[in-house]
Structure 1
Amino acid sequence: MKRSNVKSRIKKDELNPLFHFKDKEEDDKVLTNGVIKQALKSGKLELSSKNLKFVPEKVWNLRETGKINSDVFDLNQKPNEDDLWWNQASLKHLDLSSNVLTEISGNIGNLLDLTVLNLQDNALTTIPPEIGLLEKLTRLNLSRNRIEQLPSQFFRLRELKYLNLSHNSLEDISADLSDLVMLEVLDLSNNQLESLPGGIGFLTRLTDLSIHHNKLQNLPNDITSLRNLQKLDMMNNDIKFLPEYMGDLRRIEFIYAQHNDIDKLPDLEGCEHLQELHISNNFISEIPERFCEKLPSLKVLDLRDNKIAKLPNEISMLQSLMRLDMSNNSINSLPSSLSTLAHLVSLQVEGNPIKSIRRDIIACGTQRILKTLKDREGNVNTMKVTQSPTIPEKLFPDIYQLKKTRSLTLCGKNLSEIPEQLFIDAKQAEISIVDFTKNKLKQLPEGLKHLSPMIAELNLNSNLLTEIQPFVSDFDHIKYLNLSCNHLDSLPDEVGLLITLREINIANNRFITFPKCIHELIHLEIILACDNKIEEFDASEEGLGALKRLATLDLSNNNIKTVPPVLGNMTQITTLLLHGNSFRAPRHQILESGTQSILSYLRDRIPKEF
């Protein structure tokens, strides 16, 4: 083959690698006059993803850098208003995230007015003591670095409300952590912590505590003093014992304790706001009867992969329960009382030696199991003789009941329509929860329009709905929407406007295609779409991949033919259910191995791009 005579037009200095560490002089050039001017105008400096190895020195003295040079100042020329020092804002927001910084200068102490500092995703191993001078700091993100220790001065940041130290190499935290009394969100996940400091209970403003993926063996007893705590995530540790009584966590809503060594359920009496308890992959052997008595708001109970041998009849006292996962335990029978749980739409009991119900019935899913249990309960009830006369139940609640409960609940009354006056009364009572489970409604009652600004939860499970009217878009504060067990085969585009939704349930309907409007619900954490006829779904960035907060995805018992490999990139998913579909891969063994195994399998099959 002859060598081409055409000379290359590529210059020699253009043959350098595309990515390389810049020297200090190159890093300084990032801070142009235009960037400085904008920062002095807004008080915000964004230097994220600039491939910086060094922070430009000018950052620590921006106002000095931006001063008008008096030596060359022309008295005959009117200065730019933005250049006048009294019109310049001090730096309050500094973003240096996603660079390759290995150290931060002690000059950071000059930024006395800083309120927000983002240093996540760098290569920092230490933090300068001078950070303690930033007494106005309210948000600090140090996640995804290599920090092994914090200076004692760090705990002088007493105005901090948000602190993220996740994905570092911390082995211990000083007891001075308790000095950060304004903290509302604390993330210590993905470190090497073997214990939490005593005194953490003094952080009484804390609402969100993440300590998952560490080496913790127990929790300090004073953790129950966190009276405002709403979310506690301690999954993937070595915890053997939880505090025996956790009822003082009066406002707790979510507890994640999967993948530990816990052998006993804690006493949660008093946790009346608890909505989700995830405590799978532990060594729990029983569910105490009293455990079920005082959790009126519990919607999700995940106890899969434990050693539980019996499900007590008292489980029926969890009247708000919607999802119960008892997979892979040692249960040999199911109590008939399960059929009385009006909101239960997902019951997982695979992997148990159940003998009281045939395997083919269990394979048919939740509704078939509950129907079987209900039939048995009915047969028992027909044998009982009622000796006392029944008192007629009032069909609709009055305004006093509505004000007391702050909810409009009409369950199991076979209603096909609901009077408008009831909605007017409900509006006056400022209700936030509407529950019309087990009726005969064919569409959304028009009266719901009166409640659109205040509805947070709407439950229409087990009705005869064939369509959802466009006015659903008016529910601009809704967080939970249950449309399961109806006759729906589509959702209107207006559902995509419900951006406050955290959970949507469309299980047991007639969907053939996955509703695209759901892709617009960017704050969704839970999607339940099992027991439909869905043939395919989009997991790309334009589809489910856009839902960065999605933690639970249930697509079991559909007609899905292939699972898109890009679903494996959604690593934030903690519960993925795909069984009962027609695809051949992933195989059954992988599905049984759990969510992380499925996601890993899918990631390995994403086509390589060259």
Structure 2
Amino acid sequence: MSRLARGRGRRGKFNPRAGFAPEPAGPNVSGALLKQARKSGQLNLSNRGLEKVPDTVWRINLDVPEEAKNVTFDGEDRWWEQVDLTKLILASNKLSELSPDLNQLPALVVLDVHDNDLTSLPKEIGDLQHLQKLNASHNKLQSLPSELCHLNNLLYLHVDYNKLAELPNDLSTLAHIEDLDVSHNELPTLPPSIGYVSRLTKFNASNNQLANLPPEIGDLHNIRVLDLSNNQLEHLPTDVGRLGKLEQLYIKYNKLREFPNLKQCEQLKELHAGFNLIASLSADHLKLLPGLVLLDLRDNKLTSIPEEITHMQHLQRLELSNNDLSSLPFSLGLMSSLKSVNLDGNPLRTIRRDVIQRGTSELLKYLRTRIEAQFSFPGWSEEQQNGGNTHSRVTSWPGALSTPTSRSSEPKSGDVAPLTPDPEPAGPGSTIDTFTVHKTKSINYSNKNASSVPDDILETGRDMYVSDMNLSKNVLTTFPAGLVQLAATLTDLNLSFNKLAVLGAEIGQLSRLTTLDLRNNQLTALPTEVGNLQHLREVALSCNRFQQFPPVLYSLLKLENVFANDNHIAAIDVDGLLKLPQIATLDLQNNDIMQVPPQLGNVTSLRSLQLGGNPFRVPRPAILAKSTADLLEYLRGRIPT
């Protein structure tokens, strides 16, 4: 055999310019990949079917690289300028163990071994003193080495989805860790040292077997997100109330019987306490949470909601479904910040079901009318309310504000608008009075048998900066183009129960709309101009002729509630729904949907999903009757893997 042939046998294919090409470093790990890693300091070996990490990976910065053995003349291979490996990704392979030789990579900053078959981590991992991020989730780890606590620079540790029954006792040495995820394990308790991980800002211990928490958890003074969902907790220690920087608290799916005492959690914005056994909610509880934006108490045992809930001036989403509520405080209707209220599954007696089904905006309007049925017109002085004047009221539609029909001819000092002797009609046959329009910023021109909207109605709305226009129960066949005069202020538009077959392009100019009601018309599509309504939070399309979910809605990133029941929609576009980060309510009942894609379960923002009355066979009616969370979990379980 010639010398050249022997050389080829040792080194592989010969290149006249670069010499002999290096041999593969191991299964699915080429020499070229290692060469690039020596230049960048990063090596990604994810999803390569590796059952073992080749030794050349651990020795990447120790062995003389192959390219150093080859003679080159073009200056491209500057092998002597190699850098230490700082990032190693071994995710989504078939690794059952990691070699102790990993300590030969002392410069590692990131080590990602998630989604493998690891049953343990080598104790030598404690030698990686520069390690800042370790992801070992989705493995089969039964314990963690105590040497892990030697990683003083660790900022991020994820060991979720394993089989851990305990955590190392000396977690206090992880002085810099900020993100710790131990969820989906088998932990019966947490070590007291958890309270000394002083820089922790995000801690996820959900889906374990925790029956109690150590009081030291109250020492996590920098914690902002705490997830304790899906455990066996029957109470929270009062020490949780000392978490002054806490912004999000997840305690759903436990066995809590009492609302937690969160006396110092003034920064709390989201409280997820659904699926517990909480039977009462007191005014004292609510006074401690002035900044709350989301309150989830669904699937508990609540029988009443205190009037003091109105003190929560920032509350936007209130989840109360599947409790034992028979009534609501009417003052809830005064909470202008509320964007979504879910009441499904309660034995409510004071609110008709059709009012609830119309959505949050209509529910709040209805509650306001109930206040006015009991008290004097809001905003009037005490002298006006209790003096010699008599104020009679007419409620013209469910959810309308009351209208005073007689009042003093002389304005009083401090009144918000001048009083006139008699109401002035704002249009032919209208009973709208300009004082009420000015006061409420709303116009009710419903049930007039009108085929168009009079110009003076629109001018009144423009001049008085109306934000709410009700044109329902008329015979409109075209979109009232004159509504664009109100574009600067209009936020709520009700065009339900008309004869609209097409929605005009002018709708796109009403860019401040947050609520749009198009129920009971003859619509088959929405114009692309609807995509300009980027503030829209709620749209009602029920009882029309849609054959598909309007694609333009997928571009409305603030959309929360969609009512599209009683149409002819044939399919569910999951990819489109996943583009709506805030979608909370989706009603697709009584359509022509033949199949429910399992991926719908990934739309985890949904709080109310209604699919009944469609011809699909799966999920079965018994599954549909369960809560939305159970339905989504069922669908996720059917996603092919």
Q: Which TM-score band applies after superposition, normalised by the shorter structure? A: 0.7 to 0.9
Equivalent residue for 2:625, pick from 592, 602, 605:
592
Q: For 1:20-59, what per-residue CA distance to the aligned partner results, in whole angstroms no more than 9, with x for missing partners? A: xxxxx99813221210111111111110010000001000
State the TM-score, normalized to the length of structure 2: 0.70
Distance in 2 between residues matched to 1:322 and 1:29, nearest whole Å: 54
**CA drift at 1:303:** 1.0
Change (3 A) 1:349 1:390: farther
Query: Are residue 508 (structure 1) and residue 535 (structure 2) matched?
Result: no
Tell me the amino acid that sits aligned with residue 414 of structure 1: K
Change (3 A) 1:600 1:283: closer
Q: Is the 8 A contact 2:262 2:288 kept in 1?
A: yes
**CA drift at 1:73:** 5.6
Distance in 2 between residues matched to 1:505 and 1:270, nearest whole Å: 35
Distance in 2 between residues matched to 1:362 and 1:546, nearest whole Å: 26
Distance in 1 between residues matched to 2:415 and 2:243, nearest whole Å: 39
The residue matched to 2:217 in structure 1 has which SS? helix
Distance in 2 between residues matched to 1:162 and 1:445, nearest whole Å: 51
Q: Which stretch has the larger CA shift, 586-595 or 220-229? A: 586-595
- 2:515 is matched with 485
Distance in 2 between residues matched to 1:490 and 1:233, nearest whole Å: 42
Q: For 1:70-111, what per-residue CA distance to the aligned partner results, in whole angstroms no more than 9, with x for missing partners? A: 7x565xx536443332x2121111110000000000110011
Q: For 1:322-361, what per-residue CA distance to the aligned partner results, in whole angstroms no more than 9, with x for missing partners? A: 2222222222221111111113233222333322334454
Q: Is the 8 A contact 2:24 2:31 kept in 1?
A: no
The residue matched to 1:132 in structure 2 has which SS? helix
- 2:374 is matched with 380
Query: Are residue 118 (structure 1) and residue 145 (structure 2) matched?
Result: no
Tell me the amino acid that sits aligned with residue 172 of structure 1: E
**CA drift at 1:391:** 4.8
- 2:310 is matched with 316
Equivalent residue for 1:56, pick from 45, 54, 57:
54
Query: Are residue 257 (structure 1) and residue 260 (structure 2) matched?
Result: no
Distance in 2 between residues matched to 1:443 and 1:249, nearest whole Å: 49
Q: For 1:305-335, what per-residue CA distance to the aligned partner results, in whole angstroms no more than 9, with x for missing partners? A: 2111211111111222222222222222211
Q: Which stretch has the larger CA shift, 345-354 or 536-545? A: 536-545
Tell me the amino acid that sits aligned with residue 84 of structure 1: W
Query: Are residue 275 (structure 1) and residue 305 (structure 2) matched?
Result: no
Change (3 A) 1:269 1:317: same
The residue matched to 1:82 in structure 2 has which SS? coil
- 1:214 is matched with 208
- 1:152 is matched with 146
- 1:531 is matched with 563
**CA drift at 1:296:** 3.0
Q: Which stretch has the larger CA shift, 237-246 or 509-518? A: 509-518
Distance in 2 between residues matched to 1:112 and 1:73, nearest whole Å: 28
Distance in 2 between residues matched to 1:181 and 1:326, nearest whole Å: 40
Q: How do 1:104-503 residues align onto structure 2 when only pairs under 5 Å count?
A: 104-244=98-238, 246-382=240-376, 386-387=381-382, 391=414, 414=441, 462=492, 467=507, 484-486=514-516
Distance in 2 between residues matched to 1:100 and 1:132, nearest whole Å: 23
- 1:40 is matched with 38
Distance in 1 between residues matched to 2:62 and 2:466, nearest whole Å: 65
Distance in 1 between residues matched to 2:76 and 2:238, nearest whole Å: 64
Q: For 1:571-610, what per-residue CA distance to the aligned partner results, in whole angstroms no more than 9, with x for missing partners? A: 472644222765255465423312354235546877x99x
The residue matched to 2:221 in structure 1 has which SS? coil
Tell me the amino acid that sits aligned with residue 485 of structure 1: T
Tell me the amino acid that sits aligned with residue 507 of structure 1: E
Tell me the amino acid that sits aligned with residue 53 of structure 1: E
Distance in 1 between residues matched to 2:594 and 2:217, nearest whole Å: 42
Q: Is the 8 A contact 1:568 1:598 kept in 2?
A: no
The residue matched to 2:125 in structure 1 has which SS? helix
Change (3 A) 1:460 1:122: farther
- 2:79 is matched with 84
Distance in 2 between residues matched to 1:102 and 1:415, nearest whole Å: 67
**CA drift at 1:128:** 0.5
Tell me the amino acid that sits aligned with residue 506 of structure 1: R
Cα RMSD after superposing both structures: 4.1
- 1:583 is matched with 614
Distance in 2 between residues matched to 1:302 and 1:57, nearest whole Å: 52
- How high is the sequence identity, in percent, across the aligned residues? 33
Tell me the amino acid that sits aligned with residue 137 of structure 2: S
Distance in 1 between residues matched to 2:311 and 2:570, nearest whole Å: 37
Change (3 A) 1:333 1:569: closer
Query: Are residue 102 (structure 1) and residue 135 (structure 2) matched?
Result: no
Q: Is the 8 A contact 2:571 2:593 kept in 1?
A: no
**CA drift at 1:373:** 2.1
**CA drift at 1:297:** 2.8
Task: State which structure, 1 or 2, has the greater radius of gyration over its C-alpha atoms.
Answer: 2
Tell me the amino acid that sits aligned with residue 115 of structure 2: D
**CA drift at 1:281:** 1.2
Tell me the amino acid that sits aligned with residue 204 of structure 2: S
Q: Is the 8 A contact 1:27 1:56 kept in 2?
A: yes
Tell me the amino acid that sits aligned with residue 441 of structure 2: N
**CA drift at 1:232:** 1.5
**CA drift at 1:251:** 2.8
Distance in 2 between residues matched to 1:119 and 1:445, nearest whole Å: 58
Distance in 1 between residues matched to 2:315 and 2:466, nearest whole Å: 13
- Unmatched tracts of structure 1, length 5 or more: 1-24, 395-411, 417-435, 448-458, 473-481, 499-503
The residue matched to 1:36 in structure 2 has which SS? helix
**CA drift at 1:243:** 2.3
Change (3 A) 1:241 1:104: same
Change (3 A) 1:561 1:551: same
Query: Are residue 565 (structure 1) and residue 596 (structure 2) matched?
Result: yes
**CA drift at 1:186:** 1.0
Q: For 1:104-142, what per-residue CA distance to the aligned partner results, in whole angstroms no more than 9, with x for missing partners? A: 001100111111111000000010011111111111110
Aligned residues: 513
Change (3 A) 1:267 1:492: farther
The residue matched to 2:368 in structure 1 has which SS? helix
State the TM-score, normalized to the length of structure 1: 0.73
Change (3 A) 1:600 1:280: closer
Change (3 A) 1:280 1:600: closer
Distance in 1 between residues matched to 2:466 and 2:310, nearest whole Å: 17
The residue matched to 1:29 in structure 2 has which SS? coil
Q: Is the 8 A contact 1:41 1:88 kept in 2?
A: yes
- 1:554 is matched with 585
Distance in 1 between residues matched to 2:84 and 2:75, nearest whole Å: 18
Distance in 1 between residues matched to 2:50 and 2:485, nearest whole Å: 55
The residue matched to 2:88 in structure 1 has which SS? strand
**CA drift at 1:300:** 1.9
Change (3 A) 1:593 1:568: farther
Distance in 1 between residues matched to 2:598 and 2:568, nearest whole Å: 16
Q: Which stretch has the larger CA shift, 124-133 or 289-298? A: 289-298
Distance in 2 between residues matched to 1:562 and 1:468, nearest whole Å: 29
- Unmatched tracts of structure 2, length 5 or more: 1-22, 384-411, 418-438, 444-464, 470-481, 496-505, 519-525
Q: Is the 8 A contact 1:575 1:595 kept in 2?
A: yes
**CA drift at 1:546:** 6.8
**CA drift at 1:439:** 6.2
Change (3 A) 1:270 1:199: same
